[in-house]
Amino acid sequence: MTTTDSAPIAAVAGHRETSLPVVIIGAGPVGLAAAAQLLERGIEPLVLEQGDHAGAAISEWGHIRLFSPWRHVTDAASVRLLEAQGWTPQHPDALPTGHELVKHYLAPLAATPQLESRIRYGVTVENVSRDGMDRTRTAGRESTPFLVRIDSTGDEDEIRARAVIDASGTFSTPNPVTTSGLAARHGAEVADRLTHGLPDVLGRDRAQFAGRRVAVVGAGHSAANTLIALRRLAEQEPGTSITWAIRSANPHRVFGSDDDQLPGRASLGAATRELIDDGAVSLIDQFLIDDVEPRDDAVALVGRRDGTSTVVEADVVVVATGFRPHLDGLREIRLRLDDVVEAPEKLAPLIDPNEHSCGSVPPHGVDELSHPEKGFWLAGMKSYGRAPTFLLLTGYEQVRSIADELAGRHDEARRIELVLPETGVCSTDLATAASCC
């Protein structure tokens, strides 16, 4: 009875599938690049963005200067759209801040006539499924449209799509402060003293840190940026002290190498090393954090070093331990994710920090990003799961490949050339990994 009833549904769905848009989740650099690439191939995109403008997540850390120059942070199809509107590019070797990336690239790109009407803001994607099918149903599945359930200010709460590209990133789901990866048991009691990501230490968030004891947890570039800003604050605000807690034996990965092909990344590492060498920052290595606890007007990081109980007290803690993908809304999609990094199964071996953490990544596209759910892809930062080495160039090549696949250009989709600038340093220690900007 089920099989007989499903046949006409699948037939109707297949008939209208190509008339439906490709839904893109996220209007960040990779999401907008996906839309531009699809438009060049005559495919209708619909971009759903939770924020109120393109690049909303980037604006949260807009004060940070990227270590990638302009020539590495723009997408070719997007640039073609912009140039048709008389857009003037920035100097290719200049290093933009997050705010500059939004102002000079993402905002004008989203405002082009081709994209402006195809982006909806203030829309939260709650779930993705197949229209009338949960994950257990197979008959007619590939010809059935996707169903995207949203929470928005409008009347519509469900959208049907030919395909779905989830480029929503990971910024909204930071890793916890504990080494176990679990939420701290007493985290709610000190939530007002914990801040995640990249706080604007010298600007918007200055009062939170000035004249206080600050602990930074994490051994990646996010931590490095915060440490450098805190050093400048300490020079201006007496009483500001800085502790850097890492779980690895040393921070050599963030220190980098003189052979790094991105000078901005190399200089960030050199500046961080200098903080340790001149005593501006107290480094606590091999610190495994089990919990956070309230201590009078402070917060205590409670853990172990070499098997010995250790407590570090601070007035405020910056949790720069990286990010993880939010997957709850994809329960009805048939995903095939790696058990370790939660990236697509075929991509994971190329980026697993247990194996390598070099900046160079082998070419990859639709095959490596594929899931059992035909027509669904994770792209951009979210495709890397918990791995830390994502660069925008990677995401742009991903969505170019996906666009070719959707356009039926299967050979072109697999003709992938991707050369990323190398770090000059590699690590096989997962403990040294953290998110890149």
Rounded CA separation 254/265 (Å): 9
Q: What does the pLDDT read at residue 304? A: 96
pLDDT digits (tens, 9 = 90+) for 128-171: 999 999 999 999 999 999 999 999 776 779 999 999 999 999 99
Confidence of residue 356 (pLDDT cuts 50, 70, 90): low
Query: For the chain, how far is it from start to end, CA to CA, in angstroms?
Result: 53
Task: Classify residue 431 by burial, with Cβ atoms within 10 Å: 0-12, 13-18, 19+.
Answer: middle
Q: Which of 151-160, 182-191, 310-319 has the lowest mean pLDDT?
A: 151-160
Q: What does the pLDDT read at residue 227? A: 93
Confidence of residue 363 (pLDDT cuts 50, 70, 90): confident
- The set of residues, in sequence order, having a beta carbon less than 8 Å from that of 263 and lying 6+ positions away, is none
Q: What does the pLDDT read at residue 388? A: 84
**Is the per-residue pLDDT at 430 higher than 80?**
no
Residues 47-70 have a mean pLDDT of 95
**To the nearest 5 percent, what fractions of the chain are helix, strand and coil?**
35, 20, 45
Q: What does the pLDDT read at residue 3? A: 33
Residues 57-80 have a mean pLDDT of 94
| Percentage of residues of the chain with pLDDT beyond 70 | 87
Confidence of residue 17 (pLDDT cuts 50, 70, 90): low
Mean pLDDT value across the chain: 88
Q: What does the pLDDT read at residue 389? A: 81
Token digits of residue 321 = 């331990």
**Is the per-residue pLDDT at 365 higher than 50?**
yes
pLDDT digits (tens, 9 = 90+) for 280-305: 999 999 999 999 999 988 999 999 99
**Spatial contact of 172 and 49, defined as CB atoms under 8 Å apart:** no
Q: What does the pLDDT read at residue 198? A: 93
**Is the per-residue pLDDT at 12 higher than 60?**
no
**Is the per-residue pLDDT at 425 higher than 60?**
no
pLDDT digits (tens, 9 = 90+) for 81-124: 999 999 999 999 999 999 999 999 999 999 999 999 999 999 99
pLDDT digits (tens, 9 = 90+) for 201-250: 999 999 999 999 999 999 888 898 999 999 999 999 999 999 999 998 87
**Is the per-residue pLDDT at 360 higher than 90?**
no
Sheet holding 287-295, edge to edge: 287-295, 298-305, 308-314
**Spatial contact of 35 and 45, defined as CB atoms under 8 Å apart:** yes
Residues 264-274 have a mean pLDDT of 74
Confidence of residue 417 (pLDDT cuts 50, 70, 90): confident
